Structure 1
Amino acid sequence: MTRLHLFDMDGTLIHGSAAAIELSKQIGVEAEILDLERAFADGLLEPGEFARRAHALWSALTEDHVVAAFDGAPWLEGIRETWADIRARGEHCAVISISPNFFVERLLPWGAHAAHGSPWPAVPFREPVDPAGIHTPDSKVRIADELCAAFGVTRADCVAYGDSWSDVALFGSVPVSVAVNADHHVGDLATHAYTGRDLREAHSLACEG
């Protein structure tokens, strides 16, 4: 049986942090982005408005900052090994995130078949971000359906990995899900729950059913 494994990034592959936080650390606006993150988590900011405000905070962001943020992020252990195992089984793996595509797509060399982040202008910014183009929780389901069509599978063949409210819609659309270091939004929805720092261990739960 061919399966498609769908991974959230912030809080799931990145332990206790997010791309926006790691990027903001590089240019000294971590406190400001944490305020936005709290408002976002509380449902007070839509993804597009979060992106618009983050774009304003990141006017000094350079490609070197992006590289440093990515390399220094607290990634779970075993990501490359997990994706290599998925590929060896003849299965597929993809990342779907609300975070900027210029950060998410850096995961492709680690072994993901696809990595979808919200469309942002290139760094350094010379044009505004389009709030209407920023991914939402429902976008994750739409992109998952597009990936299913591309890989010749259906939702019934999918496994979702996530940690928060932005993964609720996707968890509700697939038969197997793994809550990774998750909050209460997805804990009761998930087929399996994992707390720890090694993606190989979370993936092993999905292999059980």
Structure 2
Amino acid sequence: MVRLIAFDLEGTLVKSISGWVELHKRFGTWEKGKEYAELFFSGKIDYAEWAELDASLWRGHTKEEIMEWVRSVEYMEGAGELIDFLRRNDFRIAILSSGLLCLARKVGEELGVDYVFANELIFDENGSITGKVNPIVDFRSKGAILRGLKEELKPELTVAVGDGYNDLSMFREADVAIAINPHEGVEGDHVVESLHEVREIIEGLIGGQ
């Protein structure tokens, strides 16, 4: 028996809302970053172009600077306990983030997550940002990734937890969608304010095992 749960990362498992925005502010590139965001949301560039334009503003900054930010990101209350509960109850656990892989991988390793999908900044041999990005998770691909995991695992139950518009595609793939402190216009089968409530819903789904 296998169950599957997919989490968004930022605003869901960790308190960071957007690593892209936070690094722009940290590196003093937010004004230009806002211009690139407007180009994407107006349909003038695609997600891969947007990611590389953003990353190009950080060219020359180092992986250590990125990891300094990664280490500063705090977990949402109850994140560790929820993941432990899920592992005890036969869930395979995935993080699907349109943020940065360096953060998603750290969280995945610390919490014991089975699958991590996020966007990878490319560094050169000296550990400096090149401006290139491996754009694994764009604003529409979470559903396709979750569908692939379902085909691989054939779970008896699939749950998705997230807060933003880019989570809606994985919500549609899930048997049960849980929106946690969702952005305006984002709806799931359940709307909650904490990871403790997520656990309560899942306990109900699996019969309190």
Quickly name the TM-score band, shorter chain normalised: 0.7 to 0.9
2:6 is the alignment partner of 1:6: yes
Per-residue deviation, 1:32: 3.9
Aligned counterpart, 1:201 = 197
TM-score, normalised via structure 2 length: 0.81
Structure 1 residues 201 and 160: CA distance shift in structure 2, 3 A: same
**Inter-partner Cα distance in structure 1 for 2:45 and 2:204:** 37
Aligned-residue offset at 1:138: 3.5
- 1:178–1:206 CA contact under 8 A, matched in 2: no
Which letter maps to 1:106?
K
1: CA distance, partners of 2:86 / 2:39: 36
Name the SS of the counterpart of 1:128 in structure 2.
Answer: strand
Contact in 2 for aligned 1:137/1:170 (Cα 8 Å)? no
Is contact 2:59–2:130 with CA below 8 Å preserved after alignment?
A: no
How far, CA to CA, are the matches of 1:53 and 1:87 in structure 2?
Answer: 38
Tell me the distance in 2 between the aligned counterparts of 1:145 and 1:186: 20
How much does 1:82 deviate? Answer: 1.2
Unaligned runs of 5+ in 1: none
Query: How far did 1:208 drift?
Result: 2.5
Unpaired runs of 5+ residues, structure 2, are none
Q: Provide closer, same or farther for how the CA distance between residues 157 and 113 of structure 1 changes in structure 2, counting only shifts above 3 A.
A: same
Contact 1:26–1:68 under 8 Å retained in 2: no
- The separation in 2 between residues aligned to 1:35 and 1:70, in whole angstroms, is 25
What residue in structure 1 maps to residue 24 of structure 2? Answer: 24
C-alpha RMSD of the superposition: 2.6
Residue 65 of structure 1 aligns to which amino acid in structure 2? E
1:124-166 per-residue CA deviation (whole Å, 9 max, x = no partner) reads 2236335xx442244212221332344x224x62100111111
**Displacement of 1:112 after TM fit?**
1.1
Percent of aligned pairs sharing the same letter: 22
Alignment-derived partner of residue 184 in structure 2: 184
Q: Return the structure number with greater strand share.
A: 2
Consecutive aligned runs of 4 or more in structure 1 exceeding 3 Å deviation: 30-46
Taking the TM superposition and a 5 Å limit, the aligned residue runs for 1:20-169 are 20-34=20-34, 36-37=36-37, 46-109=46-109, 110-122=111-123, 123-126=127-130, 128-129=132-133, 133-150=135-152, 152-154=153-155, 157-169=157-169
User: How far, CA to CA, are the matches of 2:166 and 2:116 in structure 1?
Assistant: 17
Give the Cα–Cα distance (whole angstroms) in 1 for the partners of residues 202 and 40 of structure 2.
29
Larger CA deviation: 77-86 vs 22-31 = 22-31
Count how many residue pairs are aligned between Structure 1 and Structure 2.
201
Q: Supply the distance in 2 between the matched residues of 1:33 and 1:14 (Cα, whole angstroms).
A: 22
Task: Kindly state the Cα deviation for residue 185 of structure 1 after the two structures are TM-superposed.
Answer: 3.3
How far apart, CA to CA, are the structure 1 residues paired with 2:14 and 2:50? 19
Distance 1:192 1:42 in 2: 30
Indicate conservation of the 8 Å contact 1:160/1:170, yes or no. yes
Equivalent pair of 1:6/1:96 in contact (CA under 8 Å): yes
Query: Which structure: larger Rg?
Result: 2
Letter in 1 for 2:142: K
